[in-house]
Amino acid sequence: MKTETIEYKDGATTLRGFLAYDEKASGKRPGVIVMPEVYGLNDHARGKAQKLAELGYVALAGDPHGNGAVHNSLQDAMQAAGPLMGDPNNARNRMKATFDKLASLSQVDSSRIASIGFCMGGTLSLELARAGAPLRGVVSFHGGLQTQRPAEPGVLKAKLLVCTGADDPFVPAAQVNGFIEEVNKAKADWQVIIYSGTGHSFTNPDASKAGVPGVAYNKAADERSWAAMASFFKEIF
Amino acid sequence: MKTETIEYKDGATTLRGFLAYDEKASGKRPGVIVMPEVYGLNDHARGKAQKLAELGYVALAGDPHGNGAVHNSLQDAMQAAGPLMGDPNNARNRMKATFDKLASLSQVDSSRIASIGFCMGGTLSLELARAGAPLRGVVSFHGGLQTQRPAEPGVLKAKLLVCTGADDPFVPAAQVNGFIEEVNKAKADWQVIIYSGTGHSFTNPDASKAGVPGVAYNKAADERSWAAMASFFKEIF
């Protein structure tokens, strides 16, 4: 497997993504964007990109903050994410830049692209779908489901798979229900999977380090949601 | 593949189940109970049992009504199901008889049994789990989720996978939420998957024949829920 840092631009901001793919494979393959948790492009997202490359996809872990910035404290990360999460235009532009970079790669079949994301990365992936990007699918793992600019019928094209914890304090049932109402209005093809006994950040083995109640790794939910994604990709690609 | 009718008893009632397995396989294998829709042990349930045998399991499609009765009209079927659905004792006894029969077969590893069911069959499978049967798992496809005798912690042992349609008029969101509350109290390991644009009986290609609004086959949800079950079985067996 080959991994490399690739640079791309969102306006004046330089983004440093992490690309992973099987360099021995030939022909164009589906591409998958991997958007990290709020901390930035860290080892968690890199590891997921490498696992996707093992499944045969060309995976680009995106750089949400720019310049490859990674924040170790949740407070710093939230502050850095402010402009991105506060304005859907910013979120969508950053995601479109990531999509365009992945679509431009010679190994990638640009008609077969999906975006997955964790925590803020799930939210960003859903924003890209709401913006009408020609994605085959989006998978959100413990991502926030709210938006300032709801999906519209005919604009949102991606099939959506939302994997969420029943006990996630940042994505409570009311938020899940609001999302369902939104994407029903947009006539989307969606699936929501709810996992018992599961909090926020359940795919991240280091989640508990943040020391935030309701934020914890859950091995069963991590493995189940990854299997659900793999099955979903078989369907859409 | 070998299929055969096997008789067993629930009290004075003779039940005629449909067994499907790979007769060329050796050794004890996991067993799966397949409980039909309210109509009775018809071709839909037989077909699912055969598909499970192809996956390597010993599948017993149970006979809910006794004497292999199949009802063609929904009204007749509902009437026949009255005693079974009206009293949890009846439901649980019928399911225990089915479990015991499957567990007794020489091909079956009695420590690795699951129960799946469609519509009423999902409800019956969940009742068997609530009764504390030593099941590895239960999968409900568009099954009713209500019960007169809620699950209790320490009694319910099976992992639960509920596959339900977002537009199922017989399993509305309030019922799904009530189920989640019930199984949370019982400290169960559960997953709920909700499919968009999907009504009741979504696994049954003949569902529309009943002429009931909100009851219709949905190919995507049928295939997605079957894949979710197959993935779940890999985990629990």
Burial (Cβ within 10 Å: 0-12, 13-18, ≥19) of residue A73: exposed
Q: Which residues contact A198 (CB under 8 A, 6 or more apart)?
A: A165, A166, A167, A168, A218, A220, A221
Six-digit token string for B102: 């499957």
| Interface probe with B: pick from A194, A223, A234, most Cβ of B within 10 Å | A194
What does the mean pLDDT of chain B come to?
Answer: 97
The residue type found at A25 is: A
Q: Residues of A numbered 78-137 whose beta carbons fall under 8 angstroms of chain B's beta carbons: which are they?
A: none
Instruction: For residue B159, give how far its alpha carbon lies from the nearest alpha carbon of chain A (Å).
Output: 10
Burial (Cβ within 10 Å: 0-12, 13-18, ≥19) of residue B214: middle
Q: What is the DSSP string of B111-153?
A: EEEEEEEETHHHHHHHHHHHTT---SEEEEES-----SS---T
Residue B25 pLDDT > 90: yes
Residues A222, A223, A226: CA angle, nearest 5 degrees: 85
Q: How many residues does chain B have?
A: 237
Cβ atoms of A29 and A56 within 8 Å: the answer is: yes
Q: Average pLDDT in the B96-113 region?
A: 98
Q: Strands B58-61 and B13-21: what pairing?
A: antiparallel
Q: Average pLDDT in the B8-32 region?
A: 97
Between CA A5 and CA A25 the distance in angstroms is 19
What is the predicted pLDDT for the residue at A43? 97
Radius of gyration from C-alpha coordinates of chain A: 16
| Interface probe with A: pick from B196, B202, B218, B231, most Cβ of A within 10 Å | B196
Give the bridge partners for A117, in sequence order. Answer: A35, A140
Residue B142 pLDDT > 90: yes
The residue type found at A159 is: K
Cβ atoms of B173 and B145 within 8 Å: the answer is: no
What is the distance, to the nearest Å, from the Cα of residue B185 to the centroid of all Cα atoms in its chain?
Answer: 23
Six-digit token string for A107: 């190994």
Q: Average pLDDT in the B35-51 region?
A: 98
Nearest of A102, A105, A82, A106 to residue A35 by alpha carbon: A102
Q: Do A197 and B180 touch (CB under 8 A)?
A: no
What does each of the 237 residues of chain A score in pLDDT, given as a tens digit? 999 999 999 999 999 999 999 999 999 999 999 999 999 999 999 999 999 999 999 999 999 999 999 999 999 999 999 999 999 999 999 999 999 999 999 999 999 999 999 999 999 999 999 999 999 999 999 999 999 999 999 999 999 999 999 999 999 999 999 999 999 999 999 999 999 999 999 999 999 988 899 999 999 999 999 999 999 999 999
What is the predicted pLDDT for the residue at A210? 85
Instruction: For residue A196, give how far its alpha carbon lies from the nearest alpha carbon of chain B (Å).
Output: 5
Between CA B38 and CA B91 the distance in angstroms is 13
What is the predicted pLDDT for the residue at B210? 85
What is the predicted pLDDT for the residue at A19? 98
Between CA B193 and CA B162 the distance in angstroms is 6
Between CA B179 and CA B231 the distance in angstroms is 23
Instruction: Indicate left, alpha or beta for A79 from its phi (over 0: left) and psi (-120 to 50: alpha).
Output: alpha
Single pTM value for the model = 0.97
Six-digit token string for B128: 């068997």
Cβ atoms of B31 and B85 within 8 Å: the answer is: no
Between CA A96 and CA A91 the distance in angstroms is 9
- Looking at chain A, which residue has its C-alpha nearest residue B182? A196
Residue B108 pLDDT > 90: yes
Cβ atoms of A122 and A141 within 8 Å: the answer is: yes
Between CA A24 and CA B108 the distance in angstroms is 44
Nearest of B40, B23, B229 to residue B137 by alpha carbon: B229
